[in-house]
């Protein structure tokens, strides 16, 4: 009997090992550092274009293929404020050139506040022309890096684990934003390792929920998330390190505004990744199941023309400019939009990992709620994916108000804040897609 049990154990272990190496994977990266002075994203307080480069920034891709031959690609970029006007053309070209349907391509920005503005709109000034030229080049580079990652696919093993990093604080405690006491954070560092059959690291994806907004000067960089990737690649020179922004809409690193702080936060994240790599990570098996859709997130009743005119003539300069923008949209379209199509995406790796990618600047409550529902040790939630159009508050944040609760809408062309049903609407759609990928 003992001999039989040992034989069965060996057979099961052998089958599991074979499944674990049934993947193929390839990673690539391309430098996207601007070659000329350009307007920077992230801080409205900046008054002019960039003055130099602190370190290179990148667009990176990780291509994964399961045992059925299904290929999926994750793309990350050291940028902020990348909207669907940029990501959608990239997705369309990837589908045409590589056969990647929309559900099999995740596009995530680190949200570095020291990157260039990316915007594909008609240029009326020299500054706008520089931004548009850079943006069109970025679209080409993003498609190119996807193709390179696919070409480099070789047999691989995937594993998932988590570390911890005490970088983030809930920024709504700050008087700059809301001055609300307390506030949750998510210190989990999600780690996906990709190794060749011999165990050599080919790529690692690290996820964390926190604004990369430490550096506030005029030097191009990836902020602390860029330094983290550099640290990981120094330790693993043959691997590509990708960073995925999580649900960090209401979190930032503090203290800030010094290069040494950004470097140190990067080292903290890199150390957490190393800790995860050095401990027992859970092997991931196929198949990979994918789903993509949009959910209409409703705004509160938009203001009418009379209300907008009153705001425009008021003493609040920010509210006045917002009202003026909305009035132009009202003149052009005859109405203001009353909802926004939020992109929602789910990848399921066998039964080992549920990966959820959400558009917008999603606050931490969503990660905590979704991990609690689908498993704290087997769920990865990212915001800032496929369309970074504005903040997505939870019910709690919406009720509290403040910057993420609705005030930030005044810096956009959206008529927010969102309606009270925003959290339930988003969670319901996520659950639908998780169920689709569970079959």
Name the strand (E) or helix (H) holding 85.
helix 84-98
Sign of CA dihedral 244, 248, 249, 253: negative
Estimate the crossing angle of helix 317-333 against helix 305-312, to 10 degrees.
150
Q: State residue 20's pLDDT score.
A: 52
Q: State residue 393's pLDDT score.
A: 96
The Cα 282–Cα 139 span in angstroms is 35
In the chain, which residues have pLDDT < 70?
Answer: 1-21
Task: Return the bridge partners of 253, or none.
Answer: 168
Q: State residue 14's pLDDT score.
A: 43
Q: State residue 355's pLDDT score.
A: 98
Estimate the crossing angle of helix 126-151 against helix 84-98, to 10 degrees.
30
pLDDT tens digits, residue range 76-117?
999 999 999 999 999 999 999 999 999 999 999 999 999 999
The Cα 108–Cα 359 span in angstroms is 9
Quote the strand ranges of 95-217, DSSP E: 105-109, 154-164, 168-170, 188-195, 201-208
To which residue do tokens 């080049």 refer?
137
Q: State residue 244's pLDDT score.
A: 98
Q: State residue 21's pLDDT score.
A: 59
Tell me the Cα Rg of the chain: 22
**SS in 3 state form for 287-354?**
CEEEEEEEEEEEECCCCCHHHHHHHHCCCCHHHHHHHHHHHHHHHHHCCCCCEEEEEEEEEEECCCEE
């Amino acid at each position: 009997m003992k001999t039989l049990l040992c034989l069965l154990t060996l057979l099961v272990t052998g089958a599991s090992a074979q499944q674990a190496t049934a993947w193929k994977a390839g990673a690539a990266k391309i430098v996207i550092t601007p070659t000329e002075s350009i307007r920077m994203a992230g801080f409205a307080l900046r008054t002019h274009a960039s003055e130099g480069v602190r370190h290179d920034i990148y667009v990176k891709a990780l291509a994964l293929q399961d045992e059925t031959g299904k290929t999926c690609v994750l793309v990350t970029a050291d940028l902020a404020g990348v909207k669907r006007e940029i990501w959608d053309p990239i997705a369309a070209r990837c589908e045409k050139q590589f056969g990647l349907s929309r559900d099999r391509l995740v596009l995530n920005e680190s949200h570095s506040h020291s990157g260039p503005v990316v915007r594909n709109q008609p240029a009326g000034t020299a500054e706008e022309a520089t931004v548009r030229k850079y943006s069109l080049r970025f679209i080409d580079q993003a498609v190119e890096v996807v193709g390179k990652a696919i070409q480099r696919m070789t047999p691989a093993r995937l594993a998932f684990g988590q570390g911890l990093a005490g970088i983030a604080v809930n920024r709504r405690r700050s008087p700059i934003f809301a001055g609300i006491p307390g506030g949750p954070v998510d210190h989990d560092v999600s780690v996906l390792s990709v190794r060749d059959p011999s165990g050599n690291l080919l790529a690692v994806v690290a996820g964390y929920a926190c604004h990369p907004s430490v550096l506030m000067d005029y030097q191009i960089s990836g902020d602390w998330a860029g330094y983290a990737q550099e640290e990981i690649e120094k330790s693993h020179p043959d691997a590509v390190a990708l960073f995925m922004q999580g649900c960090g809409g209401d979190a930032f690193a503090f203290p800030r505004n010094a290069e040494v702080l950004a470097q140190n936060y990067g080292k903290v994240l890199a150390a957490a990744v190393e800790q995860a790599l050095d401990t027992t990570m859970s092997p991931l098996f196929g198949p990979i199941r994918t789903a993509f859709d949009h959910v209409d997130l409703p705004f509160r009743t938009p203001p009418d023309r009379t209300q907008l005119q009153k705001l425009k003539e008021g003493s609040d300069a920010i509210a006045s400019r917002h009202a003026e923008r909305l009035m132009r949209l009202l003149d052009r379209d005859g109405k203001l939009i009353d909802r926004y199509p939020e992109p929602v995406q789910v990848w399921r790796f066998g039964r080992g990992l549920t990966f959820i990618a959400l558009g917008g600047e999603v606050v931490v409550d969503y990660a905590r709620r979704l991990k609690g529902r689908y498993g704290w040790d087997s769920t990865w939630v990212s915001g800032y994916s496929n369309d970074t159009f504005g903040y997505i508050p939870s019910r709690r944040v919406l009720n509290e108000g403040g910057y993420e609760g609705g005030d930030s809408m005044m810096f956009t062309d959206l008529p927010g804040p969102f309606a009270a049903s925003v959290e339930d609407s988003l969670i319901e759609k996520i659950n639908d897609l998780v169920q689709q990928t569970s079959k």
